Amino acid sequence: MQLIFLLEQVLNGLLVGAYYLLIALGLSLIFSLGGIVNLAHGGFYAVGAYLAVLLAPRIGFSGAFVASPILVALLGIVIERFFFRRFYRSDPILSLLLTFGLAMVIEQGLRMIFGAAPLPFAIPPEFRGQVLLGDFIYPRYRLGIFAIAIAAVAATWFIVYRTSFGRVVRAGVQNPDMVGALGIPLQPYMTAVAALGVGLAGLAGVLLAPISGVHPAMGAEILTAAFVVVVIGGLGSFWGVIFAAVLVGVVRGITIYFYPPAGEASIYLLMALVLLLRPRGLLGERIQKFE
């Protein structure tokens, strides 16, 4: 009986992994190509959630689900054009400061416009309900998030590994100078990747708004966990992030099963352990420009 309960936590950890993955994936993309550690990523996630709350009453939840990530991606293009672009080649500490400031501006901006109190938002009635599989329970909405996360990962994988666009992006990660020498301007690719990465954060915001509090600090809350996932997976590794997200979800679930107070601490312990044993992360690759 005990073992079944434990198994239930492990399977639930997969769903929670999808939740972390949606945020970590964009973070990893922007870091891989531009070398920018985007501390404002949580801010874009929060903007996505707030847009969902604003748009849903007008164009429905499905409409908001499409529109909100696109709007956040457009915001990403603007931010890339005026801010990120200046820091691709500079000391990472500068972009760290920039995005840290940006995160604070976004959080405080949301607080000034909407107030600090959480905005009411619920799962639309048509997506409510649970699926019972034997003794296990899965909310339909969470299964939906899981499916969308898989679709988002598949689409990102296809773009990065199966298109000519992706080939340039991957070459740019390894050796931007060589890409330039071949006469390919990397700039539009950088913009597109920033839009994609930030748009994924917006997507996560829309999807999680119905099941977690929509308040200004929601981005800061989730960002650290997303970073842990990226670091455990290995910087620049596509599959590493996916593997790490699932691992974090499962480890957290098992920890809460046995010793609930350490639920959040467990993921940091996991990170510390991975860094000690394998400093570049589980599936991290050597990237020339970061050596």
Choose between 165 and 257: whose C-beta lies nearer to another protein: 257
Contact partners, residue 58, CB within 8 Å, separation at least 6? none
Q: Could you tell me the two tokens for 124?
A: 């639309």
Instruction: Report, in Å, the least distance between residue 219 CB and another protein.
Output: 11
Task: Return the number of the residue (137 or 275) whose C-beta is nearest another protein.
Answer: 137
Of 128, 110, 115, give the one whose Cα is nearest residue 40.
Answer: 110
Stretch that binds another protein, among 15-23, 34-42, 67-75, 167-175 (CB under 8 A): 15-23
Q: Return the sign of the alpha-carbon dihedral for residues 209, 215, 216, 220.
A: negative
Distance CA 62, CA 42 (A): 22
DSSP for 123-163, please give it.
--GGG--EEEETTEEEEHHHHHHHHHHHHHHHHHHHHHHHS
Q: Collapsing DSSP states into helix, strand and coil, what is residue 210?
A: coil
- Tokens describing residue 37: 């550690």
Among 196, 214, 228, 274, binds another protein (CB under 8 A): 214
8 Å CB contact between 266 and 255: yes
Enter the tokens of residue 129. 């309900």
Q: With residue 136 as reference, give the H or E element that holds it.
A: strand 136-139
The alpha carbon dihedral of 44, 45, 46, 52 has a sign of positive
Q: Does 130 bind another protein (CB under 8 A)?
A: yes
Residue 85's Cβ-count burial label (10 Å; 0-12, 13-18, 19+) is middle
Tell the smallest beta-carbon distance from residue 108 to another protein (Å): 5
- Taking CB under 8 A as the criterion, the residue among 96, 148, 212, 287 binding another protein is 212
The one segment of 6-14, 32-40, 166-174, 196-204 that binds another protein by CB under 8 A: 6-14
At residue 131, the 3 state secondary structure works out as strand
Site for another protein in 61-120 (CB under 8 A): 82-83, 86, 101, 104-105, 108-109, 111-112, 115-120
For another protein, give the closer residue by CB, 135 or 278: 135
Q: Is the CB of 40 or the CB of 235 nearer to another protein?
A: 40
Shortest Å, Cβ 156 to another protein? 23
| Candidate residues 15, 33, 110, 190; the one interacting with another protein per rule CB under 8 A | 15
Q: Which of 125, 181, 276, 286 is the binder for another protein (CB under 8 A)?
A: 125
Question: The tokens 């820091």 sit on which residue?
Answer: 87
**Residue from 141, 157, 170, 174 that binds another protein (CB under 8 A)?**
141
CA–CA dist 159, 180 (Å, integer): 21
Map residues 243-262 to x or -, x wherever contact with another protein holds by CB under 8 A: ---------xx--xx--xx-
Q: Which residues bind another protein (CB under 8 A)?
A: 5, 8-9, 12-13, 15-16, 19, 82-83, 86, 101, 104-105, 108-109, 111-112, 115-123, 125, 128-130, 137, 139, 141-142, 210-218, 221-222, 252-253, 256-257, 260-261, 263-265
